[in-house]
């Protein structure tokens, strides 16, 4: 086991439910300095675990473990933190309660403060659903977070993205005839169709047209779809996926008692210096939506990742995209939070 576990105890969830004996799986990189002011929080995205974040961490990079103490908390539902697959009855599988982004960030804040005694965070950064967690950190803890850097991720799930996630859910539920009472019959094999649905959204039209999948070692479109999308989704527990899909569909930084659904008010309440990065061909989290969000955040800058890799411009696969993200993060960390 290459990660640690922080016990949360019995937690009350934003949805009104309770999750007993909850826990947060996390991994740290680097050392916490004496002042405890060299902290970076880097939450995981939908379906990812901490190892999928490691491409952005390294000596000489913006997230340099020789300089920063980097905490990577795993999203609830991802199979390492409390999830349908690792929670005992009666909260296992289809009976796992609904968990929000707001809940996840509250639990991460407990980890940071209770486990490590940290009061200031230099940066919260994340891709996709990790990006919305970074926005949520800026909203929930505006005096604690100095900088946020979401990339290929929005501050809420906009309607089109909601529909995409709903299509993924429908592909899975169709295997059991949309009978919610049969959800515990789902198997990883049922995830094949979910991978096929996501295949049209994870990368761009230009990616497919230019056959960029050949750079990954696939010599045909079918080989790429089966070898990447089907294979990766079939490794996921279907109950975990349903839990994370719910979290993703209802993600909204303003869905909390402070902002009561006022999205612009929530954006304006972010005090952190903000660097928003969008993939130029991202079909899943669009640049237009990110530009709207940046317009309402007081200290925000918007940067385009010029890439044909769509949403996966932020996935750590393409060298040019990786450099763009790393360069922007270096520039952000070089700025004083108050500049």
User: Who contacts 213 (Cβ-Cβ below 8 Å, separation ≥6)?
Assistant: 207, 221, 223, 224, 228
DSSP E strands, 102-248? 123-127, 147-151
Note if 311 is an active site residue. Answer: yes
- The string of DSSP letters for 235-257 reads TS-HHHHHHHHHHHHT-BTT-ST
Per the CB < 8 A criterion, the answer to whether 285 and 153 are in contact is yes
Task: Note if 307 is an active site residue.
Answer: no
Q: Of the residues 82, 83, 85, 128, which is catalytic? A: 128
Catalytic residue among 252, 282, 303, 321: 282
Query: CA–CA separation, 183 vs 214, rounded Å?
Result: 37
CA atoms within 13 A on the CB side of 11: 26
Catalytic residue at 299?
no
- In order of 37, 97, 125, 276, the CA distances from 100 in angstroms are 28, 10, 18, 22
* Residue with tokens 């909203």, as numbered in its chain: 139
Q: CA 84, CA 94: separation in Å to the nearest integer?
A: 7
Q: Which residues pair with 121 in a beta bridge?
A: 145
Among the options 83, 140, 311, 321, which is catalytic?
Answer: 311
User: b vs e for 154-190, b when ≥16 Cβ sit within 10 Å of the residue's Cβ?
Assistant: bbbbbeebeebbeebbebbbebbeeeeeebeebeeeb
**Which residues are catalytic, by number?**
128, 282, 311
């Amino acid at each position: 086991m290459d990660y640690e576990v922080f016990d949360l105890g019995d937690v009350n969830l934003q949805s009104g439910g309770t999750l007993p004996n909850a826990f947060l799986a996390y991994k740290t990189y680097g050392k916490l300095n004496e002042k405890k002011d060299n902290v970076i929080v880097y939450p995981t995205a939908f379906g990812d675990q901490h190892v999928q974040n490691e491409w952005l961490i390294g000596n000489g990079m913006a997230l340099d473990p020789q300089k920063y103490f980097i905490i990577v908390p795993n999203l609830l539902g991802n199979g390492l933190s409390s999830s349908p697959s690792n929670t005992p009855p009666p909260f296992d599988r289809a009976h796992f309660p609904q968990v929000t982004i707001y809940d996840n960030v509250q639990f991460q804040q407990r980890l940071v403060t209770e486990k490590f005694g940290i009061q200031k965070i230099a940066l919260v950064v994340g891709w996709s659903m990790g990006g919305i967690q970074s926005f949520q950190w800026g909203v929930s803890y505006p005096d604690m977070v100095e900088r946020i850097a979401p990339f290929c991720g929005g501050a809420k799930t906009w309607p089109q993205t909601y529909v995409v996630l709903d299509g993924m859910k429908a592909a899975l539920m169709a295997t059991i005839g949309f009978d919610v009472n049969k959800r515990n019959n789902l198997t990883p094999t049922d995830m094949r169709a979910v991978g096929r649905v996501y295949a049209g959204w994870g990368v761009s039209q230009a990616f497919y047209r230019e056959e960029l999948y050949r750079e990954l070692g696939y010599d045909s479109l079918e080989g790429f779809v089966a070898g990447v999308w089907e294979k990766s989704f079939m490794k996921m527990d279907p109950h975990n996926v349903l839990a994370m899909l719910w979290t993703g569909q209802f993600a909204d930084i303003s869905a909390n008692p402070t902002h009561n659904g006022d999205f612009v008010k929530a954006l304006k309440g972010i005090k952190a210096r903000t660097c928003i990065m969008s993939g130029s061909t991202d079909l899943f989290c669009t640049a237009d939506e990110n530009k709207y969000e940046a317009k309402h955040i007081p200290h925000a800058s918007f940067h385009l990742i010029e890439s044909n890799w769509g949403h996966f411009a932020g996935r750590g696969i393409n060298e040019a995209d990786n450099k763009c993200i790393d360069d922007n993060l270096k520039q952000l960390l070089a700025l004083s939070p108050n500049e």
